[in-house]
Amino acid sequence: MMEKKLRQEAKALLEQKRVDWIVGFESGSLKFTTTPLITRNVADTERLVINPFITNNLANFLTEIEGRVGIVAKGCESRSIVSLIQDNKVDREDLVILAVPCPGIIDLAKIERLVGKDRDELDDITRDGDKVSVKVDGKKKDFAVADVLFDHCLACELPTPTKYDILLGEPRQPTPDLKVSGQNIAGLKALTSAERWTKWQDEMSRCIRCYACRNVCPACFCERCFVEETEPQWVMPMPQWPDNLIFQVIRNIHVAGRCTDCGECERVCPVNIPLRSLTREMYDIVDELFKFKSGMDKDALPLMVHYEQEEAEEFFK
């Protein structure tokens, strides 16, 4: 089992002093949830878990931890790590990457919607290949895996990290399904420009400016964010839709070429703003214009550092 191997390896890494810290997942306090575990204590490695609910992008912690780190990495973490290496935010030498071939993470909100019950009322969720069984009120309900995974998992291009030190389990091949995961964006693109603007106004008027999207994002590593600057004050701290929208748009432009479409911002949003419809579009724009996929090649220059002599000239008079 992956979990057993992970615990052994993590324990060995700490005991042999090859790393100072282990960053992984442990069971959360609520049903089915997991929470990040950051530890330097050998005994804690017994609490490490790998299950279909390991949602967080752990690469977010790398810029804050000092010393050598053994990190549990799914495909999306590995891409964020590569992106951080490109930006010289972390050193590959300081990392031991424990690669998890990821079959996709289960979105509890989707299950709640399908079953029509709150997550606390579910007895068990198990995954077997392409089938997910939910036990509720003593009855078992089966769902296709494609109906319950996160949208960004359906579009996943890298389930198994390409750069790793220890591989746990068999590598998986990517099977990106852009049709289902891109439904939201396709729907938006079918609207007129004015309708899209109204749509984003409505979405952003819910924003409470908790900055969870920014704080959970491994690509958002600025020491001081423009929203907190007061001289000049770029955006008002008070949550009003124009400022909320500018915040999101600029955040997306600032992380262009770093955002790996890990979908964390959308998951943590407490008011359910479909943020992935922004990040994914930016990801596609960058790919279309500059053939750049973030977090794929650690030796490539970052998007905004590199340039070609002739490109994107059609935007200039």
Partner 1 sequence: MTQESEWEPKLLGFLCRWCSYAGADLAGTSRKKYPANIRIIKVPCSGRVDSLFILKALRLGFDGVLVSGCHPGDCHYQTGNYRARRRIAITKKFLDYIGIEPQRLQASWVSASEGGKFAKVVTDVTKGLKEVGPNRLFERKNDGEKAKAGSEGPARTKKG
Q: Which residues, including other chains, have CB under 8 Å from residue 59's CB and lie 6 or more apart?
A: 71, 73, 77, 80, 81, 84, 218
Least distance CB 16 / partner 1 (angstroms): 35
Smaller CB distance to partner 1: residue 169 or 302? Answer: 302
Cα–Cα distance, 93 to 24 (Å, whole number): 19
- Which structure tokens are listed for 245? 């929208």
Smaller CB distance to partner 1: residue 28 or 169? Answer: 28
Residue with tokens 């891409």: 79
Smaller CB distance to partner 1: residue 93 or 120? Answer: 120
Smaller CB distance to partner 1: residue 164 or 200? Answer: 200
Cα–Cα distance, 45 to 108 (Å, whole number): 26
Least distance CB 153 / partner 1 (angstroms): 14
Least distance CB 44 / partner 1 (angstroms): 23
Q: What angle do CA 212, 276, 271 make, to 5 degrees?
A: 45
Of the candidates 43, 59, 10, the one whose C-alpha atom is nearest the C-alpha of residue 165 is 10
Of the candidates 266, 301, 300, the one whose C-alpha atom is nearest the C-alpha of residue 281 is 266
Smaller CB distance to partner 1: residue 297 or 311? Answer: 311
Least distance CB 35 / partner 1 (angstroms): 11
Smaller CB distance to partner 1: residue 46 or 123? Answer: 123
Which residue type occupies 13?
Answer: L
Least distance CB 147 / partner 1 (angstroms): 14
Q: What angle do CA 54, 59, 61 make, to 5 degrees?
A: 100
Least distance CB 109 / partner 1 (angstroms): 4
Smaller CB distance to partner 1: residue 160 or 181? Answer: 181
Smaller CB distance to partner 1: residue 89 or 119? Answer: 119
Cα–Cα distance, 317 to 48 (Å, whole number): 56
Least distance CB 102 / partner 1 (angstroms): 17
Cα–Cα distance, 98 to 58 (Å, whole number): 12
Residue 221, phi then psi, degrees to nearest 5: -115, 15
- The per-residue DSSP string of 49-62 comes to ---TT--S-GGGGT
Of the candidates 184, 183, 186, 162, the one whose C-alpha atom is nearest the C-alpha of residue 172 is 162
Cα–Cα distance, 156 to 96 (Å, whole number): 23
Smaller CB distance to partner 1: residue 231 or 310? Answer: 310
Question: What is the DSSP-derived secondary structure letter of residue 149?
Answer: B
Least distance CB 69 / partner 1 (angstroms): 26
- Which structure tokens are listed for 53? 């609910």
Binding site for partner 1 (CB under 8 A): 30, 32-33, 53, 55, 107-109, 112-113, 119, 188-189, 193-203, 205-206, 226, 234, 240-242, 245-246, 249-250, 252-254, 256, 267-272, 278, 281-282, 285-286, 289-290, 303-305, 307, 309-313, 315-317
Least distance CB 236 / partner 1 (angstroms): 10
